[in-house]
């Protein structure tokens, strides 16, 4: 019993970060623009990932608006995200916080709240995204 407990402690202390890499289909609700659909692509940056902390490249593609390039930092299932259009003229960039979980089909999904301080005088919104196999 002591050996099992010791192994459990070692495994817990050396936990490896979840890998949220992949493509996600998203439904969003933007405070200024209304409902939209988009696609998120996340890629794990292994060289900047340790234990239950992970780093990602992040891209959100929204038809009619463009590609929002950014990055993300995760601690277990909580992920902070920066995103922005390359053309900063209309100040369409911001930060978000997402909570990841698994679907009944064992795919990743997340719910994200975001804040854009400069877009149209300030803006917020939500996204719900499900990983595509």
Per-residue pLDDT tens listing for the chain (133 residues): 555 444 444 444 456 789 999 999 999 999 999 999 999 999 999 999 999 999 999 999 999 999 999 999 999 999 999 999 988 788 999 999 999 999 999 999 999 999 999 999 999 999 999 999 8
* Domain ranges within the chain, ordered by starting residue: 2-132
Q: How far apart are CA 67 and CA 46, in angstroms?
A: 23
CA–CA separation, 95 vs 38, rounded Å? 17
Longest dimension (CA), the chain: 63
- Does domain 2-132 correspond to CATH entry 2.40.128.120? yes
- For residues 69 and 92, give the distance between their C-alpha atoms in angstroms, rounded to a whole number: 11
Quote the mean pLDDT of the chain: 90
- SS3 of residue 101 by DSSP: strand
């Amino acid at each position: 019993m002591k050996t099992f407990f010791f192994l459990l402690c070692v495994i817990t202390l050396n936990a490896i970060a979840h890998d949220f890499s992949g493509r996600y289909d998203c439904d969003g609700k933007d405070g200024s623009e209304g409902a939209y659909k988009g696609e998120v692509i996340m890629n794990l940056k292994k060289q900047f990932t340790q234990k239950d902390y992970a780093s990602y490249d992040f891209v959100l593609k929204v038809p009619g608006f463009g590609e929002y390039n950014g990055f993300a930092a995760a601690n277990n299932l909580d992920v902070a995200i920066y995103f922005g259009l390359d053309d900063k003229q209309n100040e369409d960039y911001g930060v978000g916080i997402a909570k990841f979980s698994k679907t009944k089909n064992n795919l990743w999904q997340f719910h994200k709240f975001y804040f854009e301080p400069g877009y149209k005088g300030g803006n917020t919104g939500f996204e719900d995204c499900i990983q595509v196999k």
